[in-house]
Amino acid sequence: MHKWRPVIKATVITFGGGLLFALLGGVAVGYASSAGWIAPEMGELIVTAVFAAAIMAGALWIGAEWMRVIDEAAREAHKAAWYWGGTAGMCVSGVGLILSSAGPWRDIIARQIGSGGSPIDYVSAGAALMIAPMLIGYTVVWVWWWLARMRG
């Protein structure tokens, strides 16, 4: 349990600090917007952006601490999964990116998929469709890595 203390500490600080910031940021935005100092939407955007950036930085910190405490085999499994699985997933997503970027496929894809969504919908869908194959590839390689070593 002692070796996991840095991971627990990073997790508590990240999520506890995030919740505290969200609470105080919400109160500050409520006060500032009711006083007319800032538009409520702008205040909400600022608090959300800072919150998201801090949580992502905290997630990196938690991941770094976690990688330090796991054993060498587990580190190697995750490094292989990250490189091979993530790269393979990126290649799958890259095909969609290339097809949707130029040429006749762009128009075909736009007609089939582009049925009245707003630009932010397409940005969100693109981000999800880019990361999903990477996560799937990561998981497949991670499972394969462990199965290959458990068989002997």
Checking if the pLDDT of 2 tops 90, the result is no
Q: pLDDT: is 103 or 83 the higher one?
A: 83
pLDDT at 77 over 90: yes
The CA-based dihedral angle spanning residues 110, 113, 115, 116, taken in that order and rounded to the nearest 10 degrees = -80
Distance CA 90, CA 133 (A): 7
Q: Are 85 and 137 in contact (CB under 8 A)?
A: yes
The pLDDT tens digits of the residues spanning 8-22 come to: 999 999 999 999 999
Give the pLDDT confidence of 50-60 residue by residue, as tens digits. 999 999 999 99
pLDDT tens profile 26-47: 999 999 999 999 998 999 999 9
What is the chain's mean pLDDT, rounded?
89
- Residue 116, pLDDT score: 66
Q: Taking the chain, what is the end-to-end CA distance rounded to the nearest angstrom? A: 30
Per-residue pLDDT for 115 more than 70?
no
Q: Which pLDDT belongs to residue 152?
A: 66
The tens digit of pLDDT for each residue in 120-134 reads 777 888 888 889 999
- pTM for the model stands at 0.73
Q: What is the pLDDT of residue 111?
A: 72
User: Any residues with CB less than 8 A from the CB of 126 and at least 6 apart, and which?
Assistant: none
Beta strand extents in 3-89 (DSSP E only): none
**Tokens 């991670």, located at residue:** 142
Report d(CA 99, CA 29) in Å as an integer.
Answer: 43
